[in-house]
Amino acid sequence: KAGVTQTPRYLIKTRGQQVTLSCSPISGHRSVSWYQQTPGQGLQFLFEYFSETQRNKGNFPGRFSGRQFSNSRSEMNVSTLELGDSALYLCASSLVSGLPSSGNTIYFGEGSWLTVV
């Protein structure tokens, strides 16, 4: 069974540009979450989507947005990139949202490394 797949794995963008990152969850998983990982701020929650609806949002500016499609695949977009947006962006998926029971483990992908120059 394939894991959480994120594309692209590495990318370099220029300040002011925008970027779109893609995440394909594990087959059958309907919840997708996004996290930003930086050396200074650590791992921070961006947002969660479940059944195409945003369920939770972290404390990030409106330049960060996301969406989920009917097949549960998700994209996140960052507009007007800043140098501080350089980070590893991690996608995670699980069967459902909430109730972290034994059957609702959250699985992470390997991430997309974004460098803003």
Contact between 67 and other proteins by CB under 8 A: the answer reads: no
**By CB under 8 A, is residue 31 in contact with other proteins?**
yes
What Rg do the C-alpha atoms of the chain give, in angstroms? 14
Tokens of 4: 């959480």
Q: What are phi and psi of 83, to 5 degrees?
A: -55, -35
Residue carrying structure tokens 């650590």: 42
Q: Residue 33, interface with other proteins (CB under 8 A)?
A: yes
State the SS3 of 30-91.
CEEEEEEEECCCEEEEEEEEECCEEEEECCCCCCEEEEECCCCCEEEEECCCCHHHCEEEEE
Strand partners of residue 78: 19, 64
17-25, 51-59, 65-73, 77-85 -> range binding other proteins (CB under 8 A): 51-59
Identified binder of other proteins from the candidate list 43, 63, 71, 80, rule CB under 8 A = 43
In the complex with other proteins, which residue's Cβ is closer, 80 or 88? Answer: 88
Choose which of 48, 64, 72, 85 interacts with other proteins (CB under 8 A).
48
Region near other proteins per CB under 8 A, out of 12-20, 38-46, 64-72, 73-81: 38-46
Residues in contact with other proteins by CB under 8 A are 4, 31, 33, 35, 42-45, 48, 50, 55-56, 58, 90, 92, 94, 97-102, 105-111
